[in-house]
């Protein structure tokens, strides 16, 4: 009983803050709302005895929101006046589509005859997860890590305003670097 109530509360919080993301006027507030949503979901995960995953979810998401807030402000500027920002397009169709999808998924969730539980969780889920990662699921991790590394490199490359190829030419043979501010500082 208690779990149901806690779950319901946390679910409502997550949903409400999710909706709030798109309804608030300030970028920062939207970011915070998303963070709250993520925290709620992380808490729900904790309810499922997923300690490790829940915690890292909360941690990662909060950090991510912070970064997102920076980006938001960088792109869209501070909005100290908190003017109503409603930059949407195709609201009606999106709503229809979203509702339709919800109905589909909910209907599926309700109507599909789910099978019975086929096992029981281990006593120390974190340890078992660690073992699974290092053991039978090492391949997954091996795949994920290059992907993450590639992501880092790619993001850096994409975000780099002026690389050495811009400065030194396509074959890096230019005599002097092509900088907006001469002086060798690379600015």
Partner 1 sequence: MTLQLVLIAAAALFCVGLYGALSQQVVVMVMMGLELMLNGVILAAAAFWWFLAPTPDGQVLLLVVIAAMTVEMAMGFAVATLLHRSRGSDMTDSATDLSG
Partner 2 sequence: MSAAAVNAIGVTSLWLLVGLPALGGIALCITGQRANRMAVPVSLGTAGVTVVSAFVVAFSRPAVEVPFLAGAPFGLAVDGLSAMIVPTVAVVTLAVLVFSAAEGTEAPARFHGLMLIFAAAVAVTATATTLPALLFAWEIMGAMSYALIGFRWREDFRVTAGLTAFITTRTGDLGLYIAAGAALAGGAGLGLANLAAAPSPWRDLIAAGILMAAFGKAAQLPFSFWLSRAMEGPSPVSALLHSAAMVAMGGYLLLRLAPLLEITGWAGPTAAWVGAVTALLLGAVAVAQRDLKQLLAASTAAQLGFVVLAAGIGSVAGGTAHLIAHASTKALLFLAAGAWLSALGTKQLSALRGAAHRWPLVGVTFAVGALSLAGVVPLSLWATKDEVLAGALEASPLLYVVGLAAAALSAAYAGKALVMVWRRPLSNARDEYDTEQPGTRHVGGWERIPLVVLAAGAALSGVLALPPVGNWLRGELGAQSDARPGLLELAGSAVLALLVLGLVAWKRMPQLSWAENWLGLEQATRVLVVTPVLSLSERLACFDDAVLDRGIHAVAREVVRGTRGLARFDDRGLDAAVTATARAGVRAASVAGAADTSGVDAAVEAAARTARLLGSAARRPQTGRLHQYYAQITVVLAVAVVLLLVVR
Q: Which residues bind partner 2 (CB under 8 A)?
A: 89-90, 93-94, 97, 100-101, 104, 108
Sole window of 17-25, 163-171, 174-182 interacting with partner 1 (rule: CB under 8 A): 17-25
114's tokens: 């789910």
List C-alpha distances in Å: 71 to 4, 64, 149.
37, 10, 22
How many binding residues for partner 1 (CB under 8 A)? 80
89 versus 187: smaller Cβ distance to partner 2: 89
CA distance 183 to 187: 9
For position 123 contacting partner 1 by CB under 8 A, the verdict is: no
**At its nearest, how many Å lie between partner 1 and the CB of residue 59?**
11
**At its nearest, how many Å lie between partner 2 and the CB of residue 101?**
6
User: Using the rule CB under 8 A, which residue among 66, 82, 105, 142 binds partner 1?
Assistant: 105
Identify the CA nearest to 10 among candidates 52, 57, 66, 72: 57
List C-alpha distances in Å: 165 to 149, 153, 162.
22, 16, 8
């Amino acid at each position: 009983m208690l779990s149901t109530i806690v779950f319901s509360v946390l679910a409502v919080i997550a949903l409400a803050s999710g909706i709030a993301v798109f309804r608030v006027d300030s970028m920062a507030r939207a970011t915070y709302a998303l963070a709250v949503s993520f925290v709620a979901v992380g808490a729900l995960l904790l309810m499922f005895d997923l300690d490790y995953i829940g915690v890292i979810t909360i941690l990662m998401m909060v950090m991510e929101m912070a970064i997102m807030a920076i980006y938001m402000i960088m792109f869209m500027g501070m909005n100290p006046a908190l003017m109503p920002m409603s930059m949407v397009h195709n609201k009606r169709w999106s709503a229809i589509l979203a509702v339709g999808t919800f109905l589909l998924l909910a209907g599926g969730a309700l109507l599909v005859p789910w099978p019975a539980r086929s096992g029981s969780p281990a006593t120390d889920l974190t340890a078992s997860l660690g073992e699974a990662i290092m053991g039978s699921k090492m391949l997954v991790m091996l795949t994920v890590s290059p992907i993450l590394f590639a992501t880092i490199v790619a993001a850096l490359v994409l975000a780099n305003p002026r690389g050495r190829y811009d400065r030194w030419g396509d074959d890096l043979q230019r005599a002097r670097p092509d900088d907006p501010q001469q002086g060798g500082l690379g600015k």
